[in-house]
Amino acid sequence: EGRGEAMTKKQYDELDAIRREFRDYAASLVGRAAWLGGLQEALRVSLGYDDYRIETPVVYNEALDDLGLNDKPRFIIVADNPGKNEQKAANRRYLVGQSGKLAQSWFLKELGMDFRAVSLIINKTPVHTPKTAEIRALRRLAADVSAA
């Protein structure tokens, strides 16, 4: 965990600018696509997922806001998209489900590091689907709505 150097002020300022831009982008998606939650709910129901409800259609990783100048991120982890656990209003963080638990275990066992302390975690998209493969189905639903 103590490995690596803390960020320089310049590095932190660059990270902070990217973080703010991403936060603004996620917020703009929420504003521009108010219909998204309804489509995600329709997808969830059509796929038979009865074990959760849509809480956050577009998930900004709030763990990014926890990064400070003295942190020492050594890895940038790029996951697919927020799943069931990540979109819960109480979480709003990436890789908090099964994949995150596997990563945390692997980092500790193989590298002797705390996964969350040494990683900056982002997703390819902030748009939630229950499973990554279902993003295509969500796109099809969105195309059907826009064509109607």
Digit-coded pLDDT (tens) for 55-95: 999 999 999 999 999 998 999 999 999 999 999 999 999 99
Q: Which of 64, 76, 79, 66 is nearest to 127 (CA)?
A: 79
Residue 1 confidence (pLDDT): 46
**Distances from the Cα of 77 to the Cαs of 118, 124, 143, in angstroms?**
10, 10, 30
How far is 128 from 135, CA to CA, in rounded Å? 8
Task: Yes or no: say if 141 and 42 are a contact pair by the CB < 8 Å rule.
Answer: yes
Residues of the chain with pLDDT under 50: 1-2
pTM of full prediction above 0.75: yes
